Amino acid sequence: MPEESIEVEGKIVTVLPGTMFRVELTNGHQVLAHISGKLRKNFIKITVGDMVKMEMSPYDLNRARITYRMRNNTAPRNAPMRSFGPRRR
């Protein structure tokens, strides 16, 4: 039997250490969330104020896994350029 998960949307309230986040759902409930492996692998940055999609287990409604960061076109993200060391010629 496949495990059912509840998909919800929320807004990042607090960034905690260890890639954990405090997220407020649309109904006002706050949950503790961590980012999924795909977001971690692709270096998706999540900051306070971002809207995210999450999966929650029906057994523990105080924890969630962030699976997607919603696009926010109103506020441009000024991400720093990544440096891969000095260039060689």
Q: What is the pLDDT of residue 56?
A: 95
Element (H, E) at 40: helix 37-41
Q: Give the CATH number for residue 47.
A: 2.40.50.140
Q: What is the pLDDT of residue 53?
A: 95
- For 27, the domain range is 6-69
Q: What is the pLDDT of residue 36?
A: 93
- Tokens (6 digits) for 81: 């350029």
In a domain, 30, yes or no: yes
Q: 35-85: per-residue pLDDT in tens?
A: 999 999 998 899 999 999 999 999 999 999 999 999 875 555 566 666 676
In a domain, 87, yes or no: no
Q: What is the pLDDT of residue 38?
A: 92
Q: What is the pLDDT of residue 2?
A: 60
Number of domains, the chain: 1
In a domain, 83, yes or no: no
Beta bridge partners of 30: 24
